Structure 1
Amino acid sequence: MFNISAFTSATLRMDARITYEGKSADEVFDIMGDPERITDWYLLAKQVKMHPQVEGEEQSFNVEFTFFGDVFEEILHWDPPHRYVYLAKGDDFPIKDYVACIEVTEEGAGCGTMSWKIYSDVIEGEHFQRILPVILPAINEASMNKLCELIGGTSCTVDSYF
């Protein structure tokens, strides 16, 4: 059984789930696990900058976000097509202990559930402490609805605890 506590002790801030049909777990994971697809569905993502891959290491990249500038994302755990865990950090990224887990669970032939959970406890800066709990739930929900269309989603739920 997978346990996120090996990667973070932070509080769960978002629990999003998409039930999908018409795609395999591999196909869904390929969409979620491809950094260059982030701009297809995440509203604040402007551009993905891939770094040269170092042999024996996971691919690293930066995502340029509206509001947050360049955010470096590092893969902490990679287990296709089941799950991956990543952290995000950047000079202008106010969530200082951000860790997320993407999981794909196949529940039958061509159907299953994809989940995205975000963990964090530290938001830096009074401005961001006030505004992120207001805007991130709506942005994340709209982004998940876009992703839902890409992966054959039949339902989408987003629970936010920011």
Structure 2
Amino acid sequence: MTFSAVGNDRGFADVVKKIRAPLRFEGVGYYDVPPEKMFAVVSEPASMSKWLPMLKSLQMSHAASENGPSACGVGSERSCSFSMMGDVFERVIWWNPPHGYAFSFQPKSKMMMPTRDHSVVFLVRPHGNGGSEFVFRTYFDWQPGLMRFMAARMMPMMLNMSFVNLQKQLGGKGGKARRVA
């Protein structure tokens, strides 16, 4: 795996070492908002449902956050519900506003989401005159089963829909996701 550094990558290299699965999908998009705004859109629960397709609900808890019970940080947890995919439990494993964050991703149904050792990384970098580059990476190992083939086609479609939704909301060139492995 190849990992590029990010501006002010405090802790990023350490979290990447902990990710055991290969990079499967990566998307890069360019938007007409500063990194602080971009980070808020991709990290705040109220904003995520506006750009992330099929997200029905998201509940967040900071009870185990390194930043205390009222602020997001490493240890914060999310319970998400997605149309067609079911419920997902996420735990923040790297938090560095406005540069990015990462979380482990544990689907309740291995049939609908046939992955294990699943982690997601969101990176935000300055780009152009006041804009942002947003990088979305997802790492996992495939579980065997029929849904694996459907999920392999659905994931890039969902990621590309996310980039389109972000472009409509924020302006800019948008982006595209690609399958890496």
Compute the TM-score of the two structures, normalised by the length of structure 2.
0.78
Q: Counterpart of 1:158?
A: 177
State the Cα RMSD in Å: 2.1
**In the comparison of the two structures, how many residue pairs are matched?**
160
Give the residue type in structure 2 aligned to 1:151: L
Any runs of at least 4 consecutive aligned residues in structure 1 with deviations exceeding 4 A, and if so which?
none
Structure 2 residue corresponding to 1:41, chosen from 29, 43, 51: 51
Q: Tell me the alpha carbon deviations over residues 95-136 of structure 1, each in whole angstroms, 9 at most, x when there is no partner.
A: 22111111111134411311111111133x512212111222
Higher deviation after alignment, 62-71 or 50-59: 50-59
Give the residue type in structure 2 aligned to 1:148: Q
Give the residue type in structure 2 aligned to 1:97: D
Per the TM alignment, residue 54 of structure 1 is displaced from its structure 2 partner at its CA by: 4.3
Q: Counterpart of 2:165?
A: 146
Structure-2 change in CA distance of 1:65 and 1:150 (3 Å): same
Higher deviation after alignment, 103-112 or 40-49: 103-112
Per the TM alignment, residue 64 of structure 1 is displaced from its structure 2 partner at its CA by: 0.3
Any gaps of 5 or more consecutive residues in structure 1?
A: none
For residues 65 and 161 of structure 2, what CA distance do their matches in structure 1 show? Answer: 36
Q: Counterpart of 1:63?
A: 80
Q: Counterpart of 2:146?
A: 127
For residues 113 and 63 of structure 1, what CA distance do their matches in structure 2 show? Answer: 25
Q: Counterpart of 1:111?
A: 131
Q: Counterpart of 2:70?
A: none
Q: Percent identity?
A: 21
Structure-2 change in CA distance of 1:130 and 1:80 (3 Å): same
Give the residue type in structure 1 aligned to 2:97: P
Q: Counterpart of 2:120?
A: 100
Instruction: Indicate conservation of the 8 Å contact 1:10/1:97, yes or no.
Output: yes
Instruction: Indicate conservation of the 8 Å contact 1:18/1:155, yes or no.
Output: yes
Compute the TM-score of the two structures, normalised by the length of structure 1.
0.86
Structure-2 change in CA distance of 1:112 and 1:97 (3 Å): same
Give the residue type in structure 1 aligned to 2:145: E
Q: Counterpart of 1:16?
A: 27
Per the TM alignment, residue 43 of structure 1 is displaced from its structure 2 partner at its CA by: 1.3
Instruction: Indicate conservation of the 8 Å contact 1:95/1:122, yes or no.
Output: yes
Structure-2 change in CA distance of 1:54 and 1:65 (3 Å): same
